[in-house]
Amino acid sequence: DAGVIQSPRHEVTEMGQEVTLRCKPISGHNSLFWYRQTMMRGLELLIYFNNNVPIDDSGMPEDRFSAKMPNASFSTLKIQPSEPRDSAVYFCASSLDSTGTSGGVFGPGTRLTVL
Amino acid sequence: QKEVEQDPGPLSVPEGAIVSLNCTYSNSAFQYFMWYRQYSRKGPELLMYTYSSGNKEDGRFTAQVDKSSKYISLFIRDSQPSDSATYLCAMTAGANSKLTFGKGITLSVRP
């Protein structure tokens, strides 16, 4: 099993640019989570999907952030326009647990730097 | 008051020591409690998962939940250099409820 796959692993962009982060969950997992980790705020849940449907997006910081899950094997997190304060490590996680109580198996993360 | 508070550390102990990591929380609705381990530049991995109060043991690791005090702990016995990592507590009220993390504590086990 390849685990959760995220791309790109590193992204450096300039303020105002659109950023798209990608995630392939573990096959068979029906829950998917997007997290953001910074030194200041720690690890925060941004959005949680179950069976491709967004269940809780209360952690999405503002309208510049959007997430989609068009099918069971792919999800994107988009930031448009990006700002320097969006610099963080973004993790995707997936889980067999449909209740969302276990947090999931984490991917390696995408390290985003917005200049 | 933050929903979940975790000692910021860092914590440094000699090999073989017993380590105690703790989190407190304010939301009495929390029912599911987790500990994650995160190595440098890696994603967190689930270490322990418990429901409600009580103890759970897995090898050298013991997770303890005291809901009356709103306090959870992770004990590591016979700590090893390979245990050096950041440990995060996490908790949620239940199905489809938001998972809330502590900020994590970095543990260093000296050979």
| pLDDT value of position B98 | 79
Across chain A, mean pLDDT equals 93
Cβ <8 Å between A106 and B49 = no
A80: Cα separation from own chain's centroid: 14
Sign of CA dihedral A86, A88, A90, A91: negative
Amino acid at B31: Q
| pLDDT value of position A56 | 86
Q: How far is A76 from chain B (nearest CA, A)?
A: 18
Q: Per-residue pLDDT averaged across A7-34, rounded?
A: 96
| pLDDT value of position B1 | 66
Token output for B57: 């043991």
At residue A102 the predicted structure's pLDDT band, cuts being 50, 70 and 90, is confident
Distance CA(A78)–CA(A94), nearest Å, equals 18
Residue B95 sits at the chain A interface (C-beta within 8 Å): yes
At residue A1 the predicted structure's pLDDT band, cuts being 50, 70 and 90, is low
| Residue with the two structure tokens 């029906």 | A30
Nearest CA in chain A to B37: A106
Q: pLDDT under 70 in chain B at which residues?
A: 1
Q: Per-residue pLDDT averaged across A86-113, rounded?
A: 90
Q: Per-residue pLDDT averaged across A69-90, rounded?
A: 97
Q: Examine the pLDDT at A2 and tell me if it is beyond 90.
A: no
Distances (CA, A) of B81 to A66, B38, B57: 40, 14, 20
- Which residues of chain B does A50 touch, with a Cβ-Cβ cutoff of 8 Å? 96
| Weakest-pLDDT range from A37-41, A95-99, B45-49 | A95-99
